[in-house]
Amino acid sequence: MQNQLQAIIVSKQTSRWHRFDSQQAINEAAVQRILAAAQEAISARGRFSIVLAGGGTPKSVYGLLRNAQADWSKWHVYHNDDRCLPVDHVDRNSLMAREVWLNHVAIPANQVHDIPAELGPVEGAKAYAATVAGIDTFDLVLLGLGEDGHTASLFPGHVWDDSLDAFPVFNAPKPPSERISLSARRLSDTREVMFLVTGAGKQEAVDNWRNGVAIPATVIAPATGVDVYTFGVELK
């Protein structure tokens, strides 16, 4: 079955699980959902605000969006996290999204909001908090899942300041150690959340999530629940 849907409740988070049988299938389904969310938001409110994730699976999705037909002039693009590296560093999430997708579509430059992580974690987080402060509720937040259960730069064993919209991250278990992340509260203030989870290496994190273990991904809890698109893991 190409798309197998299961719904479970973890703590206060409602999660709906969609299993796909190929990388192409999950990529295409994600693109279709993103474009549909954009059309719905633009029809209802005249704009579409999307928060991007980094990583390999989102990169494939962004590559497909590059050739999609959309009312790009109404899109407003944000990021869920980024690494404190120079703007042209290959590991910057913002650079990846621009090179694969954003530089090739007609989204106005002032509607693409990169995290200024090159300023360092403290100053960059302050600046990005000011950027997102004027946004009421996001329309769609894209997230990934690390093998340790982290999402964005919300790592297990770390204390997150949920009073902030964006906060500095130090001593991240994955290099670079300094990052900037939107908070769990801010990521949950959205009309829709889509997790993209691929690869057998994520199996333990998925099992923990579905068994009620409090991994970081479970703190993303919008009122509408979250949709988890998976490929390469078993939904036990």
| Contact assessment for residue 233 and residue 206, using Cβ atoms and an 8 Å cutoff | yes
pLDDT at 1 (0 to 100): 37
What does the block give as tokens for 127? 């600046």
pLDDT at 159 (0 to 100): 87
Query: How far apart, in whole angstroms, are the C-alpha atoms of residue 143 and residue 201?
Result: 17
- Domain range annotation of the chain: 13-231
pLDDT along the chain (236 residues), means of 10: 56 90 96 98 98 94 97 98 98 98 98 98 98 94 96 93 94 95 97 97 96 94 96 95
pLDDT at 3 (0 to 100): 62
Pick 13-231's CATH classification: 3.40.50.1360, 3.20.20.100, 1.20.210.10, 3.10.50.40. Answer: 3.40.50.1360
The pTM assigned to this predicted structure is: 0.95
Helix axes 56-65, 23-45, angle to 10 degrees: 60
